[in-house]
Amino acid sequence: MRCGIAGVGLLGPGLPGWAASRAVLTGEAGWEPAPVVLAPPAALPPTERRRTSVAVRLALAVAAEAAADSGLPPEALETVFASSNGDGAVVGSILDALATPGGAISPTQFHNSVHNAAAGYWGIAVGSNRASVSLGGHDDSFPMGLMQAAAAVVARRVPVLFCCYDAPLAPPLDARRLTDTVFGMALVLVPEEAPVVLSVELADRAEAASAGALGPLMAGNPAARALPLLQTLAAGRAARIGLPLLDGGAVVLGVEPDLAPDGTPGAA
Amino acid sequence: MRYSGQMPSMLPPLAMTAFTATSAMGTGLEATRAALHARRGGLAPCDLPGMPEGIWVGRVPGLEEVVLPEALARYDCRNHRLAELGLRQDGFEQAVAEAAARHGATRVAVVMGTSTSGIAETELAYAGRDADGALPPGFDFAHTHDLYALPRYVRARLGLRGPAIAISTACTSGARSFLEAQSMIAAGLCDAVVVGGVDTLCRMTLHGFNSLELLSRAACRPCAADRDGISIGEAAGFALLVRAEDAPGGGVALLGAGASADGHHMSSPHPEGLGAVAAMRAALDAAGGGPVDYINLHGTGTRANDAMEGHAVRALFGDRVPCSSTKGWTGHTLGASGALEAVIAAICVADGLVPGCLGVETPDPGFGVDVAVENRQAPVRRVLSNSFGFGGSNCALVIGQA
């Protein structure tokens, strides 16, 4: 499957946005983990804005950056949201309430506990009625989510906003599903020509791509398996990126930057 | 024009070469079919511990006795027991094995919808925390509660090696698996897809809907003028989808699928049903625009959903097409409902059946649509099946003669 990458969004410790993180991603600057600042999504009505959690704010921030980067109207994009944990803080508070004698679930928390909460808030924020799907995938959330997003682009010839995000679960569940930090990324994938061509293929096996100095970050959050791809995009180079899957098989990404006639990367 | 042209490209129809369903109204196709014709529902007062008082549920009998294959024992939880029970019915395993033999195990994908997966295991683990608050050592999050556990279980159980996808779009999850399968086959990722949905009764869902004051205190009566809420159920629905040219002629097919988002509110549907209309229209367009003979409504039994859906159906069809909800038989099976009701649609096509809503004396006159309240025998070539969910998620399928 081949599609174009028209926009990118990113947020993680020491990675404060796609444009602001390029030097760290290329290795020109060192990586210094710093807390991720997550503002309430300004595009939401005040009542909804107050209800957003870390996971939703993270997803909406990277989705908005990628959409803006693409120049396409955000409400015109179909969406694929992928996350291993979903909104772990909300699910955790419901589990706590259920385990407390007489504990009551808040109705708002219940509707925020669905795995497609971030997608729902995105639709409200940008006023979109485009089709949207939300996927789980444990440690395969990034490769399987990206594969489904590319499949939608290739099969139906529509632009798709792919958003992959994860935040830590609440205690005590966090001890059984280690997620060190928040990390989110988004891509706008398009069926037509774009500065960067992305291929997504299934393979029997592949060597796992390395994130170099960002390896610890990649190991601590399933969405951060996007880092080798993001590093490749930031460097403007071609690459093949292997993403082995939990139960065998692999997804292999190919990146082909826009090459000038002399073979060097084009528009920087 | 905001609500038009959701899905510009039409995807080819896919044959449903095998399908099965297990719910409170029956384990397997024959029991489901018999319950539909006999108008024998599966809802009963809830007898599971720790649930809200005075509610009815659609519980699948015998789940407690289901044993997973030893090699997959780590997946043991109520949701995977229901998946296992469902997979054993109607020769489904054999049909999948034949598809794997024909196309290769790596060319058969698994796409499963679920809203809560095996969260009941985590509920139990929270109740069994030690003095320090730690969860019991035997608790296995990744193979039970995690959303990916369901497609991983189904893939391993069926000996498949294609991609596994976990969809969780609340109550559209099961329906959405059909649309994702269409994209995957059209994109060349696989040649066959095991689609479906599995959701089981758990405290989070029942107490959650109770907190929203949406649960009926009796068996739910979707479309009734005096309907008073949802009964929650559990179900597993599965289908094997292949390209039409890879299937024998005749039979039943997924003719089209469509989706939309409301972009309106997290738990309240758009009052005029604009998102629902968009999803139905997209599915009908994808199916080539032909007429439908029956609409299987999402029809949960809440005041707001059913009124919205009645409005949306009237906007598209007037009172020309009979419609009903089968949730009076099964309860609302959440992330499984779209898959369960796709299988019910296939039965309706095969049997020429329009199942009338159970327990409804007077349909809501405000809908202005033809709500069937008794079973009707009629040619049913195409069924439109609706699913709507929290987060403003909408998905519609057209199931019909291949």
Judging by DSSP bridges, how do beta strands B235-243 and B192-199 pair with one another? antiparallel
DSSP state of B171: G
SS3 B106: helix
Sequence letter at residue B76: D
State the average pLDDT over residues A215-219.
Answer: 97
Tell me: the pLDDT tens digits for B134-180?
999 999 999 999 999 999 999 999 999 999 999 999 999 999 999 99
Cβ distance of A120 and B390 shorter than 8 Å: yes
Residue B199: predicted pLDDT: 98
Q: Are B163 and A249 in contact (CB under 8 A)?
A: yes
Q: How far is A23 from chain B (nearest CA, A)?
A: 34
Judging by DSSP bridges, how do beta strands A78-82 and A160-166 pair with one another? parallel
B2 within a domain of the structure (yes/no):
no
Catalytic residue among B332, B348, B357, B395: B332
Q: How far is A198 from chain B (nearest CA, A)?
A: 14
B302/B78 Cα distance (integer angstroms): 27
A98 touches chain B (CB under 8 A): yes
Average pLDDT, rounded, for chain A: 94
CA-closest candidate to residue B181, choices B401, B47, B19, B366: B19
Tell me: the pLDDT tens digits for A60-76?
999 999 999 999 999 99
B7 within a domain of the structure (yes/no):
no
B1 within a domain of the structure (yes/no):
no
Can you say how many angstroms the Cα of residue A11 is from the centroid of all Cα atoms in its chain? 9
Respond yes or no: is residue B80 known to be catalytic.
no
B25/B344 Cα distance (integer angstroms): 11
Q: What count of other Cβ atoms lies within 10 Å of the Cβ of residue A99? A: 17
Task: Write out chain B residues lying below 8 Å of A121, CB-based.
Answer: 266, 391
In terms of C-beta density within 10 A (0-12 exposed, 13-18 middle, 19 or more buried), how is residue B38 classed? exposed
- H-helix segments, B119-269: 119-127, 149-157, 173-186, 203-211
Cβ distance of B267 and A111 shorter than 8 Å: yes
CA distances from B318 to B304, B321, B370 (A): 19, 8, 8
pLDDT at B3 over 60: no
Q: Which of A131, A135, A246 sits opposite B259 (nearest CB)?
A: A131
In terms of C-beta density within 10 A (0-12 exposed, 13-18 middle, 19 or more buried), how is residue A11 classed? buried
ipTM of the prediction? 0.97
Respond yes or no: is residue B37 known to be catalytic.
no
In terms of C-beta density within 10 A (0-12 exposed, 13-18 middle, 19 or more buried), how is residue A14 classed? middle
If pLDDT is split at 50, 70 and 90, which confidence band does B9 have? low
* Range from A191-200, B118-127, B341-350 carrying the lowest mean pLDDT: A191-200
In terms of C-beta density within 10 A (0-12 exposed, 13-18 middle, 19 or more buried), how is residue B225 classed? middle
Which residue is listed with tokens 């449903």? B16
Task: Write out chain B residues lying below 8 Å of A202, CB-based.
Answer: 106, 162-163, 189
Structural tokens at position B12? 């080819």
- How large a percentage of chain A has pLDDT more than 70? 96
A73 touches chain B (CB under 8 A): no
A192/A157 Cα distance (integer angstroms): 8
Tell me: the pLDDT tens digits for B262-316?
999 988 889 889 999 999 999 999 999 989 999 999 999 999 999 999 999 999 9
Residue B249: predicted pLDDT: 87
Q: What count of other Cβ atoms lies within 10 Å of the Cβ of residue B188? A: 14
What is the total count of domains within chain B? 1
B178/B387 Cα distance (integer angstroms): 12
Residue A245: predicted pLDDT: 98
If pLDDT is split at 50, 70 and 90, which confidence band does A193 have? confident
If pLDDT is split at 50, 70 and 90, which confidence band does A268 have? very low
Containing domain of residue B61, as a range? 14-401
Q: Are B331 and B301 in contact (CB under 8 A)?
A: no
Q: How many angstroms separate the most distant Cα atoms in chain B?
A: 63
Cis peptide before A172 (omega within 30 of 0): yes
DSSP state of A75: G
Task: Write out chain B residues lying below 8 Å of A152, CB-based.
Answer: 183
Residue A50: predicted pLDDT: 82
CA distances from B174 to B164, B333, B386, B395 (A): 14, 10, 11, 9
Residue of A53, A110, A162 for testing the chain B interface, max B β-carbons within 10 Å: A110
Task: Write out chain B residues lying below 8 Å of A91, CB-based.
Answer: 119, 204
DSSP state of A15: B
A212/A232 Cα distance (integer angstroms): 12
Average pLDDT, rounded, for chain B: 96
Q: How far is B3 from chain A (nearest CA, A)?
A: 7
Catalytic residue among B77, B80, B143, B171: B171
Residue A259: predicted pLDDT: 57
Phi-psi region of A14 (alpha: psi -120 to 50; beta: other; left: phi over 0): left
For the stretch B145-168, what's the b/e string if a residue is b when 16 or more beta carbons lie within 10 angstroms of its beta carbon?
bbbbbbbbbbbbbbebbbbbbbbb
If pLDDT is split at 50, 70 and 90, which confidence band does B36 have? very high
B155/B166 Cα distance (integer angstroms): 11
pLDDT at A195 over 90: no
Task: Write out chain B residues lying below 8 Å of A140, CB-based.
Answer: 148, 164
Domain parsing of chain A, residue ranges: 2-196+211-237
State the average pLDDT over residues A140-160.
Answer: 97
* Fold (CATH) for A2-196+211-237: Peroxisomal Thiolase; Chain A, domain 1 (3.40.47)
A201/A190 Cα distance (integer angstroms): 17
Helices (H) and strands (E) counted in chain A, each on its own, are 9, 8
Residue of B53, B161, B183 for testing the chain A interface, max A β-carbons within 10 Å: B183
Tell me: the pLDDT tens digits for B215-259?
999 999 999 999 999 999 999 999 999 999 999 988 999 999 999
B39/B355 Cα distance (integer angstroms): 8
**Cα dihedral value B77, B80, B84, B90, nearest 10:** 140
B3 within a domain of the structure (yes/no):
no
Q: Are B373 and B361 in contact (CB under 8 A)?
A: yes
State the average pLDDT over residues B327-334.
Answer: 98
DSSP state of A208: P
Can you say how many angstroms the Cα of residue A36 is from the centroid of all Cα atoms in its chain? 15
Residue A266: predicted pLDDT: 47
A164 touches chain B (CB under 8 A): no
State the average pLDDT over residues A256-265.
Answer: 61
B390 within a domain of the structure (yes/no):
yes
For residue A118, what is the nearest residue in chain B, using CA coordinates?
B391
Q: How far is B137 from chain A (nearest CA, A)?
A: 10
Q: Which of A96, A117, A137 sits opposite B148 (nearest CB)?
A: A137
Strand partners, B393: B261, B389
Q: Enumerate residues 6+ apart whose C-beta is below 8 A from B162.
A: A202, B105, B106, B107, B108, B109, B110, B155, B189, B190, B193
If pLDDT is split at 50, 70 and 90, which confidence band does A260 have? low
Q: Are B301 and B327 in contact (CB under 8 A)?
A: yes
Which residue is listed with tokens 């987060």? B391
Q: Are A55 and A89 in contact (CB under 8 A)?
A: yes
pLDDT at A48 over 90: no
We report the CATH number of the domain holding residue B236 as 3.40.47.10
Can you say how many angstroms the Cα of residue B104 is from the centroid of all Cα atoms in its chain? 28
CA distances from A112 to A14, B282, B337 (A): 28, 27, 20
Strand partners, B400: B253, B382
Residue of B111, B126, B334 for testing the chain A interface, max A β-carbons within 10 Å: B126
Between helices B337-351 and B173-186, what is the axis angle to 10°?
80
For residue A172, what is the nearest residue in chain B, using CA coordinates?
B134
Task: Write out chain A residues lying below 8 Å of B149, CB-based.
Answer: 138
* Range from A103-107, A152-156, B36-40, B256-260 carrying the lowest mean pLDDT: A103-107
pLDDT at B4 over 70: no
| Cα angle value A79/A81/A85 (rounded, 5°) | 170
In terms of C-beta density within 10 A (0-12 exposed, 13-18 middle, 19 or more buried), how is residue A50 classed? exposed
Cβ distance of A110 and B209 shorter than 8 Å: yes
pLDDT at B387 over 60: yes
Task: Write out chain A residues lying below 8 Å of B390, CB-based.
Answer: 111, 114, 116-117, 120
Structural tokens at position B342? 């796709």
Respond yes or no: is residue B264 known to be catalytic.
no
Q: How far is A16 from chain B (nearest CA, A)?
A: 28
A133 touches chain B (CB under 8 A): yes
Higher pLDDT residue, B339 or A268? B339
Q: Are B309 and B385 in contact (CB under 8 A)?
A: no
B317/A77 Cα distance (integer angstroms): 28
- How large a percentage of chain B has pLDDT more than 90? 95
